[in-house]
Structure 1
Amino acid sequence: MTVTSSDRSTPTTGQDLAPTPGPADRSRRTGRWIDDWRPEDAAFWETTGRAVARRNLAWSIFAEHLGFSVWLIWSVSSAFLVSLGFDFSAQQLFLLVALPNLVGSLLRLPYTFAVPRFGGRNWTMVSAALLLVPTLLFAYAVQQPATPYWVFCLIAATAGLGGGNFASSMANINFFYPAAKKGAALGLNAAGGNLGVALIQLLLPVIIGGAGIFGLVQASDGGVHLERAAWVYAGLAVVATFAAWRWMDNLGTAVSRPREQLRVVRHRQTWVMAFLYVGTFGSFIGYSAAMPLLIKLNFWVPDPAPLGTGIYFAYYAFLGALVGSATRPLGGWLADRVGGAKVTLGAFAAMILATLAVLWTLTQLTPNPAQDPAIATDNRSWFPWFLGFFLCVFAATGIGNGSTYKMIPAIWRTEAERTTTPGTPQRIAALDTATKQASAAIGVIGAVGAVGGFLIPLAFSSPWVEDPMAATKGAFTVFTAFYVVCAAVVYAVFLRRRAGAGSLARAGI
């Protein structure tokens, strides 16, 4: 394996072979580039590739983790804005939670294209540095009581920069690993990023003085200081930028052009997987964003101060994202062994049952539009059921996230193998093209799937429904019906043995 650079040309360990053609204009390259990369070559992988891939995976996880944290910083901070004197309604707060998800979904496609254009290492540096924009703007706005709502909306939208990191990170890691190990590698990479949601929801209340960890430490006597969280994550963004510069690599073999990559939008399977990903990842990110407000509005009231009555949202809001993140590698691992479609079908079945259970608990609650402490106390007895069933939903979304991302490269690889002869140059070229197309598909599918993170908080707010509890129940009813459709699509397209689908089913997808 040869590493070339504008300031470094010493070969790394491994046999020094002729470089594979990389980007057209190598004279404009900056940073570390690897031009000989053969992950499907068992000898190369064992002697050289594995260590390099793991190093890049580790720092990719760190950068993506921060991106997710910044992306979801409004999910929990919005619940503290009213206590700081900002007079925002529940519908306005849900919109602040939803806007970063919309922008993040739109950015995922260009972020995917950036990896082959600029290099995975280089783009990781850029995307990590861009996190300074939402964090520094956040720090300023929350310290200005006169900041109007529309300015908060614009600043919340910039947090979507963190959501784009996922697509570029996944596309980059997809190039580093052999097909047999993509499920676990992509699962770990995604789980590390998803954990950023859980940690921001756990640590932000502690950092700002709004709560302790697990309720063992009370809120700071000095009040809530939201800007502290922004300063912490701005500093970590600088660390991630430096780490990518120092320890990550660009792959010269990860070459494609946007026009070539966009061919995947004409592929039927791209849109089938995007639809399914709305159900898995869209649910994960949407529920993660909305969960703090759902707990606050239904199980807690601010009186008496400082912690109010009922269930204090800051102590439990992180659990859903934590469970969903932890189960994502499990979904990839299971998909590597029994097939992604089977695992995905099982995940949707579990989501249907668990969502119905959550809906049942909501029917037992007393609506609390007046934020009455007596009602909060009465609803508190149902919180363990609500939380337990909701965590089951999160666990299923995590498993589904891991299994769907295993399916994406498997679909393109299967088609390449079906149309070529083993051991021929055509097979090698087809597999290389399949890897590039799968990375492009990851960007498209990730972008469409993340839209669910925007729609779910909006469904919970439902400004056209006067009763907030009725809006929440209606939303969960719609979500359950959608999961039924997703399960039917998985079965019909990938598991039902018929013309067209049979080849995919036999391939273990």
Structure 2
Amino acid sequence: MTVPGGRWIQHWDPEDEVFWNATGEQVARRNLLLSVLSEHIGFSVWTMWSVLVLFMGPEYGLSPADKFLLTSAVTLVGAVVRVPYTFAVAVFGGRNWTVISAALLLVPTAAAFTVMEPGTSFSTFLLVGLLAGIGGGNFASSMTNINAFFPLRKKGWALGLNAGGGNIGVPVIQLAALAVIGAGGGPRVLLGLYLPLIVVAAVLAALRMDNLASVRNDTGAARDAARDPHTWIMSFLYVGTFGSFIGYSFAFGQVLQNQFDRTPLEAAYVTFVGPLLGSLIRPVGGRLADRYGGSRITLWNFVAMGAATGVLIVASTQRSLTLFTAAFVVLFVLTGLGNGSTYKMIPGIFQAKALARGLSGEEAAAYGRRLSGASMGLIGAVGALGGVGINLAFRQSFLAHGSGTGAFAAFLAFYAVCLVVTRAVYLRRPARTAAPTAATGDESRLGYAEV
């Protein structure tokens, strides 16, 4: 099955239960575990500036607006590089690119270690922060790679676990920062902890992961996915879920400091809780979507996100730290659930389209894997741009009003639009067996309630 030395798997058919039970599941789980490790550290490197800005007191000469701009720039790069990282899996192979992308994390970590001291100019911090954005790309390549390893019936769980294990890199680096601050250490101590971990992740990927020959050199899949309107509809919805998760992860500590006058240590004691719960709950969102349909879970999740945001607006205007913190943590949990359910929808949508084109069996499964894997990178890239919008909205809200209330009102309106789009596109028509419509391209009879 695997070419010795190159770790290339030539035959891979996870939809065949005999193959899956005999060898497929064991191989897929091993690659999933190591993919989680690499992606986890990538998220930590990407979001390390959400922690580093807490260390940067008045002696660094940065205003709150400067810090929000810095974290916005880091988030932007992390979103943009997800597109080439998606292509990289097809060009280099999933295992090979995991090794390369993990090793690249040494660059921003070492650079931040070098410049992190008072007296460094804001432009230098901004440049080094931009380098950290490459950590955000690991998600796209990891999800594209793991999507190809698992059968459709397992994708919600597998993708949720892969993404959740990666997302948890956000609270882990925040917890590490809390330990460092509590021990009287500085940001260089925190950065120094991650340098050897990056090396370990790259080495383990090189030794134990596999490439799938069926995925290699299919760069046309991304082009085909980009032409499909569902890629962009799901991108919009993912802005609402993952964009919120990553945006709030960067901004939560700064909001606590600027609006509620928390010290760095007080902020660090709280900021990790939301990302931690949001990461842990993501596989649950995938499981619920496997059972009840991703579109249904996503719809009700946006309802709940809107309610939590409404509570945040009240807490912000009343300056109630307890209510504000509790509502923010609940909102984090909901973003995690929504992340899991939206990503489960993607392979289901393209599988439904395959059936509508008259395909069946392995042919339909291969079509769905091909387009869903490619679309995930694009959806992940656009979704991460939501984090940029959140940080810029907070920056403008604090500049104009001295609080984040205005930003939360904008987020509430956006979640309402996401709810309407989910209902109109994926739940308005009852699900039914799709008849072949390849000749006309008509998808009016496609039902997506179960995806």
TM class by shorter chain equals over 0.9
User: 8 Å contact 1:494–1:502 — kept in the other structure?
Assistant: no
**Residue 295 and residue 407 in structure 1: after superposition, are their counterparts in 2 closer, same or farther (change >3 A)?**
same
Q: Which has the higher contact order (CA 8 A, sep 6+)?
A: 2
State the alpha-carbon separation in 2 of the partners of residues 253 and 171 from structure 1: 13
State the alpha-carbon separation in 1 of the partners of residues 160 and 187 from structure 2: 32
From 57, 62, 66, give the equivalent of 1:92: 66
State the alpha-carbon separation in 1 of the partners of residues 381 and 215 from structure 2: 20
Return structure 1 stretches of 4+ with deviation > 4 angstroms: 498-502
Q: Shift in Å at residue 255 of structure 1? A: 3.0
**Residue 398 and residue 502 in structure 1: after superposition, are their counterparts in 2 closer, same or farther (change >3 A)?**
farther
State the alpha-carbon separation in 1 of the partners of residues 32 and 221 from structure 2: 26
Q: After the TM superposition, which residues 280-359 of structure 1 pair with which residues of structure 2 at under 5 Å, given as runs?
A: 280-300=241-261, 312-359=266-313
State the alpha-carbon separation in 2 of the partners of residues 264 and 165 from structure 1: 20
State the alpha-carbon separation in 1 of the partners of residues 448 and 231 from structure 2: 17
**Identical-pair percentage:** 46
User: 8 Å contact 1:288–1:321 — kept in the other structure?
Assistant: yes
The unaligned stretches of length 5 or more in structure 1 are 8-30, 212-218, 366-381
The RMSD of aligned alpha carbons is 1.6
User: 8 Å contact 2:231–2:379 — kept in the other structure?
Assistant: yes
Query: Which residue in the other structure is 2:229 paired with?
Result: 268
**Residue 101 and residue 3 in structure 1: after superposition, are their counterparts in 2 closer, same or farther (change >3 A)?**
same
Matched, 1:163 2:133: no
Matched, 1:383 2:321: yes
Amino acid at match of 1:95: L
Matched, 1:503 2:446: yes
Matched, 1:184 2:152: no
Matched, 1:3 2:10: no
State the alpha-carbon separation in 1 of the partners of residues 446 and 363 from structure 2: 21
Look up the SS of the partner of 1:255 in the other structure.
coil
Q: Shift in Å at residue 430 of structure 1? A: 3.9
State the alpha-carbon separation in 1 of the partners of residues 38 and 163 from structure 2: 11
Matched, 1:477 2:415: no
From 306, 316, 333, give the equivalent of 1:395: 333
Q: Kindly provide the CA deviation profile for residues 279-302 of structure 1, in whole angstroms up to 9, marking residues without a partner as x.
A: 000000001110010111122355
Look up the SS of the partner of 1:37 in the other structure.
coil
Query: Which residue in the other structure is 2:356 paired with?
Result: 418
Query: Which residue in the other structure is 1:134 paired with?
Result: 108
Q: Kindly provide the CA deviation profile for residues 307-362 of structure 1, in whole angstroms up to 9, marking residues without a partner as x.
A: 6xxxx101001011011111111110000000000000011000000000011000
User: 8 Å contact 2:259–2:402 — kept in the other structure?
Assistant: no
User: 8 Å contact 1:122–1:245 — kept in the other structure?
Assistant: yes
Query: Which residue in the other structure is 2:75 paired with?
Result: 101
Look up the SS of the partner of 2:351 in the other structure.
helix
User: 8 Å contact 2:306–2:416 — kept in the other structure?
Assistant: yes
Amino acid at match of 1:250: N
State the alpha-carbon separation in 1 of the partners of residues 240 and 216 from structure 2: 31
State the alpha-carbon separation in 2 of the partners of residues 63 and 421 from structure 1: 36
Q: Kindly provide the CA deviation profile for residues 399-430 of structure 1, in whole angstroms up to 9, marking residues without a partner as x.
A: 110000000011111111122254xxxx5334
Look up the SS of the partner of 2:119 in the other structure.
coil
Matched, 1:173 2:146: yes
User: 8 Å contact 2:90–2:219 — kept in the other structure?
Assistant: no
Q: Shift in Å at residue 265 of structure 1? A: 1.3
Q: Shift in Å at residue 500 of structure 1? A: 4.4
Look up the SS of the partner of 1:466 in the other structure.
helix
User: 8 Å contact 2:221–2:370 — kept in the other structure?
Assistant: no
Query: Which residue in the other structure is 2:177 paired with?
Result: 204
**Residue 466 and residue 500 in structure 1: after superposition, are their counterparts in 2 closer, same or farther (change >3 A)?**
same
What is the count of residue pairs matched by the alignment? 440
Amino acid at match of 2:189: R
Query: Which residue in the other structure is 1:12 paired with?
Result: none
User: 8 Å contact 1:493–1:501 — kept in the other structure?
Assistant: no
Look up the SS of the partner of 2:72 in the other structure.
helix
User: 8 Å contact 2:397–2:407 — kept in the other structure?
Assistant: no
Rg (Cα) greater in structure: 1
What TM-score, normalized to structure 1? 0.84
Amino acid at match of 1:505: Y
Query: Which residue in the other structure is 1:214 paired with?
Result: none
Q: Kindly provide the CA deviation profile for residues 129-166 of structure 1, in whole angstroms up to 9, marking residues without a partner as x.
A: 000011000001113x3311001001111111110000
From 407, 419, 434, give the equivalent of 1:487: 419
State the alpha-carbon separation in 1 of the partners of residues 280 and 287 from structure 2: 12
State the alpha-carbon separation in 2 of the partners of residues 268 and 456 from structure 1: 25
State the alpha-carbon separation in 2 of the partners of residues 421 and 333 from structure 1: 26
Matched, 1:73 2:48: yes
**Residue 54 and residue 113 in structure 1: after superposition, are their counterparts in 2 closer, same or farther (change >3 A)?**
same
Matched, 1:405 2:361: no
Query: Which residue in the other structure is 1:369 paired with?
Result: none
**Residue 183 and residue 501 in structure 1: after superposition, are their counterparts in 2 closer, same or farther (change >3 A)?**
farther
Look up the SS of the partner of 1:154 in the other structure.
helix
State the alpha-carbon separation in 2 of the partners of residues 119 and 451 from structure 1: 26
State the alpha-carbon separation in 1 of the partners of residues 262 and 148 from structure 2: 49
**Residue 315 and residue 492 in structure 1: after superposition, are their counterparts in 2 closer, same or farther (change >3 A)?**
same
Query: Which residue in the other structure is 1:375 paired with?
Result: none
State the alpha-carbon separation in 1 of the partners of residues 401 and 196 from structure 2: 42
Query: Which residue in the other structure is 2:396 paired with?
Result: 462
Query: Which residue in the other structure is 2:8 paired with?
Result: 33
Query: Which residue in the other structure is 2:434 paired with?
Result: none
Q: Shift in Å at residue 261 of structure 1? A: 2.0
Amino acid at match of 1:320: G
State the alpha-carbon separation in 2 of the partners of residues 473 and 227 from structure 1: 34
User: 8 Å contact 2:65–2:399 — kept in the other structure?
Assistant: no
Amino acid at match of 2:52: S
State the alpha-carbon separation in 2 of the partners of residues 183 and 158 from structure 1: 32
